[in-house]
Structure 1
Amino acid sequence: MSDKPRALMPAWMDANRLAIVKGELDKAGVELVTAQFRTEEELLAVAKDVDGIYENPVHITRHVMESLPRLRAICAMGIGYDRFDVPAATELGVVVINLPKVFHREVASHAIALILANVRKLRTLDIATREGARAGTGPKRSVDAIPYHWLYGETLGLVSFGNIAREVARMAKAFELNVIAYDPYVPAEVAAQHGVTLVPDLDTLFRESDFISVHTPLSPETKHMIGERQFRLMKPTSIFVNTARGGVVDEAALVRALREGWIASAGLDVTEVEPVRGDNPLIDLENVILTPHVAAASEMDRRERPRWLGIEMGRVLTGKWPINGLVNKKVKPRFPLTND
C-alpha cells in the first residue's frame, strides 16, 4: 500500500469527471480509491485504510467516523451536507468540506427562473398553446392562463443569506425587487452591503414577501422549519420557490396551501423524497412547476465540481485548510492543518 493519503470515492462518477478529481488529487500527492458500496457495513469494509471520504449513499454518522480512526475529512459533492453528522465530526476532529462557490450562480439563476416562470405563467401558457394548436382553435385564453402578477417593485424574501441567496439578491435588483432576508447568523450590516434588509423572524419574512426563495441547508434544526404557520402568513398572490432541500419544508402543508389557495403557486427543484414518486400530490397540481434537483447543472458545473472536489480534499489530506468549503469552522482537526 502507498504511503500517500487516500481518498475514497463511490464508483458511480463518470470517467471524465473522475479523471479531473484524480488529476487534482495527484497534484496534491493524494491517492484516489474507488469502490462500490451501498450499506454502512460495506463502506466500513472499504474505508478502513482511507483518510478522506466523499459523499456517497451511506450517511456518515458518528459510528462511521468513530470506526475509522484514520479519517481526516469528509467532502460533500455539492453545497448541501445533510448526509453528514456535522456536530459529531466536529467533536471527533473530522473536517467537513462542501463546495459553496462552484455553482452558486447556477442555483441562483434557477431560483430566479422559477420565480419568472410562475409570474409569467409559462407552464400554463405552454400547455394552452399546444392544446390550442392541436385542436385548431388557437391558444385557449382562459383567465387562469393570463399572467397577472406584477413583478417590479414587489418584495422578495430570502430564507437564509449565504452565497446563493446573495447571488439571487444581486440578480433580483435587475427587476427592481425589494429584497429582504431572514438569517439569524448574518449581521445586518453584511446584508446591507448587498442592498438587503434583514427581518427579525421567519414570520415577518413570510408575511411581508410577495415571493419567497428558500436557500437554507437541511439540518436537524431546519427540518420542516417552513410549514403551515408560514404558508398561512403568505399573501394569496404570493409565489414560493425552493432550490435548497425538500426536507426544509413540510410538504403536506405546502400541498394544502397550493390546493386551498393560501398561496398562488410554487416552483420546486427539490422535494422531500427524490426522485419525485408517482403518488406525490405535487405532480397533479397545475400551480406548481417541478424540476428534478438540477439547479446546479451546467457545463461549468461538470468541469468545476470535480476540480474543486480534488482541490479541497487534496488540501486537507496534505495538511492544509480548505480554501472555500470549511463547514465545521470550530473543528480541532485530528491532524494539524495550516493555511499555506
Structure 2
Amino acid sequence: MALRVAILDDYQHVALTCADWSTVEKRISIDVFSDTIHDEDLLVQRLEAYHIICTMRERTKFTSKLLDRLPNLRLITTTGMRNQGIDIDFAKSKGIIVSGTGSGGNSTLEHIWALILSVARNIAVDDANIKSGSPLWQTSIPVGLSGKTLGLIGVGRLGSQTAKVAKAFNMRVIGWSPNLTPERASQAEVEFVRSKKQLLQQSDIVSLHLVLSQTTHHILSAGDIAIMKPSALLINTSRGPLIDEAALIDAVKKKSISGAGLDVYDLEPLPLEHPLRKIPGITLTPHTGYVNDSNYKVFWSETVENIAGFLNGTPRRELA
C-alpha cells in the first residue's frame, strides 16, 4: 500500500507544479491542503492517517503534543534548513525523521527593500488612491532615503546585505542587537551603537533582522516604540512577535511614528477582522519575504528528493 503524504499550507497551489514528482508519485498517495489550521484537535483529525507530512516553513506548528497524537507519522519535510515550528528533538525521540531543503536567490533581501521603498514612497497609499477614482492626484510627500539613518536590529547575514543596499542610497547605517560586537559591526560596514535606545532615537527607518526566541520576544516594546522619532518608519520581515503588535498599532494610530511595513504577524494568516488590516499607515504583505519562483523551485525539488531518500532508506538533509 502506498504511503500517504500530506502537503500543508500550499497557499498558491504550486507544490505539485514547482517540481517533478514522477520519481516518487507511484509509491505515495498525495493530498494537498491550502488552508492553515491552528486548532490541534482539527489538525489531528486531518493528519493522523498520514505517514509523511510536507510543511511550508512555519505555517503549521508541530509541537510535542501534536506529534504525540500522530501515530503513523514517519517523516516531516520542511522548506528551508531551520523550522522553529517543529519540535525536532521530540520528533527524533518518536522515530520521526525531519528533513529540510536549501533555498535559492535573494528573496528576503529583495522583499525587505520592496517594503522599505513602498512605505517610504507611499506606494500602497498612492495605488489605492488612484484606483479608487479619487480626483486628488498627488496626496503625500515621499520620504527621501539619501542622508537618512537606517537602524538595523540584528546584523547577521540579512542585516549585512541590507546594509550594503542602503549604502547605494547614500544612507547612514547603524546597528545593534543583544549580541552584536563592534568587531562584527565593522565587518558588516555598519556603525555600532551601544544600546537599543540609541539606535531607536537616531534612526529614520528601523528594520528587524533577528531570530525569534524567549530573549527576543517583544524586543520592541511599547516603551521602545515611544522612543522612536515621530517621522520614523518601522520594517519587520523577521517574525511578528519581535514587536509588541498592540503597541505598534497604537503608535501608528496616534502618529507617534509615521508608519510601518510588515510581512510577519503574531498569528498567520492574519485574521480577517484584525485591526492591522484597517490602518492606512501600515503597509502589509502576506509573509512573502521568502517567496519567489527561485526559492519555490529549490524548496519543492529538494522536498521530492527528501521523500525519495526516505523511501529508499537513505534520509537526506536531516535537521539536527
TM-score normalised by the chain length of structure 1 = 0.71
Q: Tell me the distance in 2 between the aligned counterparts of 1:198 and 1:297.
A: 31
Superposition RMSD in Å = 4.0
> Residue in 2 aligned with 1:117?
118
2:109 maps to what in 1? 108
Question: Which of 282, 303, 306 is residue 309 of structure 1 equivalent to?
Answer: 303
* Number of the residue aligned with 1:260: 254
Instruction: Provide the rounded CA distance (Å) in 2 between the counterparts of 1:20 and 1:172.
Output: 33
Deviations along 1:70-125, one digit per CA (max 9) or x if unpaired, are 9776443357734223564587787755556435x222212112212222233344
Q: Percent identity?
A: 27
Q: Note the C-alpha offset of 1:260.
A: 1.8
**Greater per-residue helix proportion:** 1
Deviates further, 218-227 or 71-80: 71-80
- Corresponding position of 1:10: 7
CA displacement at 1:255 relative to structure 2: 0.8
Q: 2:196 and 2:4 mapped to 1: Cα distance?
A: 40
Superposition deviation, residue 199 in structure 1: 4.2
2:314 aligns to what? 318
User: Aligned residue for 1:146?
Assistant: 141
CA contact (8 A) 2:44 2:70 kept: no
| SS of equivalent residue, structure 1 residue 263 | coil
- Unpaired stretches in structure 2, ≥5 consecutive residues: none
Letter in 2 for 1:10: I
Q: Is the 8 A contact 2:59 2:268 kept in 1?
A: no
Distance 1:24 1:184 in 2: 47
Change (3 A) 1:18 1:123: closer
- The structure whose RCO (Cα within 8 Å, separation 6+) is larger is 1
Instruction: Find the partner of 2:63 among 61, 64, 70.
Output: 61
Corresponding residue number in structure 2 for 1:205:
199
Structure 2 length as normaliser, TM-score?
A: 0.75
Per the alignment, residue 227 of structure 1 pairs with 221
Task: Kindly provide the amino acid, as one letter, of the partner of residue 44 in structure 2.
Answer: E
Q: Give the unaligned 5+ runs of structure 1.
A: 332-340
Q: Name the aligned partner's letter for residue 119 of structure 2.
A: N
Number of residue-to-residue matches in the alignment = 309
Q: State the partner residue of 1:34.
A: 30
Q: Matches of 2:200 and 2:155 in 1, distance apart?
A: 15
Q: In the alignment, which residue of structure 2 is the partner of 1:85?
A: 87
Using the alignment, how far apart are the partners of 2:158 and 2:131 within structure 1?
35
Residue equivalent to 2:287: 293
Question: After superposition, what is the alpha-carbon deviation per residue over 1:238-282, rounded to whole angstroms, capped at 9, x for unaligned?
Answer: 110112222322211001111222211111122323333443333
